Amino acid sequence: MTTSVTSPVRRAAPVLPQARGPLSAAVLRYLREPGADLPLAREVAGADPFGADLQLALYVCYELHYRGFAGVGDDLEWAPELLAFRRELESVFLPALRAAVPGGDDVAAEVTSLITEVPGEAGLSHHLRRRGELWQFREYIAMRSAYHLKEADPQAWVIPRLEGAAKAALVSVEHDEYGAGRGEAMHARLFGDMMLELGLSDEYGAYLDHAPAEVLAEVNFMSMAGLHRSLRGALVGQFAVVELTSSPGSARLVAAAQRLGLGPATIGFYAEHVEADAVHEQVVRHGIIAPLVEQDPAMAADVVFGMQAATHLDERLGGRLMAAWAAGESALVRELEPVG
């Protein structure tokens, strides 16, 4: 399947999403009517930490630090009431995430676990390579757009919080993610080209109302770790998971795209990640993590937490998709339009 890849005229910012409960409804009301009441701490404390309502409320708060929303003033990024409410949301999400993973400080063991593939292992990329259907591939891409259309942006926040060799190595990886100085080669742009080829919109935020809570939680963890200096080690750990596991997974997605007869933009996006992330794996292990932990041994536990949390959230998303697809159902909140 191939289509013409022509980028449409873009909105300055995405439109506000639909609420998914009282917490997200309150945030959206505040953005439309600054000064409107926000929920009290006790109301937030009782929310499902991984549920769609809390995750959407948190996502909307974080998005003010990225591209904002159409019709929402830029000054609301630093509205004290909204920041205090975001903090309450984080105080539910972060402890739940810590409780969901074993923790520890053995970075080497965690890295070994990430890069060791088990023969016969099941997972999203394995399924898509072997028997995934076009509608499932398109759902996967629509979900991943929540991150990939701002690929590397959450991790950029950690740059001023690092020093020396670790900072220099992380910037070298980010330089590649941003196209090595060429706008058309930015990974976010390559992902957008793939979306167009698949008959999807490449508009930033176009599939926010389609994304389940598991998608929002993955991106929220990156944003939370990026915006808090105290979580800088966790963000390095999250970044490590992406770079250490991307190359073999991307190779399987190249094979999936070829099996489905998809076009050059789709194959090219994942082929780029097979090559680039094989190099990035070594840079992350030896150029970022090693000097970071050597300089500050206490950072090891934070890096491990970031790795484990990112893996846990990825597995939650994979579980949702695989369960829905096994039942022949969409894993999205709203189904995509069929290819014309």
**What is the greatest pairwise CA distance in the chain?**
56
Residue with tokens 């997200």: 24
Distance, in Å, from the CA atom of 320 to the CA atom of 330, rounded to the nearest integer, reads 10
pLDDT of residue 274: 87
SS3 (DSSP) at 332: coil
Distance, in Å, from the CA atom of 140 to the CA atom of 270, rounded to the nearest integer, reads 13
Helix 134-148 and helix 187-197: axis angle, to 10°?
150
Q: Are 317 and 325 in contact (CB under 8 A)?
A: no
Q: Is the dihedral of CA 17, 18, 20, 26 positive or negative?
A: positive
Tens of pLDDT, residue by residue over 154-201, are 999 999 999 999 999 999 999 999 999 999 999 999 999 999 999 999
pLDDT of residue 277: 67
Q: Are 181 and 220 in contact (CB under 8 A)?
A: no
User: How far is CA 86 from its chain centroid?
Assistant: 19
C-alpha triplet 241, 246, 247: angle, nearest 5° = 135
pLDDT of residue 135: 97
Token couple for 271? 């082929």
Count of residues for the chain? 340
By CB atoms closer than 10 A (0-12, 13-18, 19+), residue 37 is exposed
Q: Are 94 and 230 in contact (CB under 8 A)?
A: no
Residues of the chain with pLDDT under 50: 1-10
Q: Which residues contact 301 (CB under 8 A, 6 or more apart)?
A: 103, 104, 105, 233
* Phi and psi based region of residue 162 (left: phi greater than 0; alpha: psi -120 to 50; beta: remaining): beta
Q: Are 196 and 263 in contact (CB under 8 A)?
A: no
Topology of domain 105-326, CATH: Heme Oxygenase; Chain A (1.20.910)
Distance, in Å, from the CA atom of 25 to the CA atom of 53, rounded to the nearest integer, reads 8
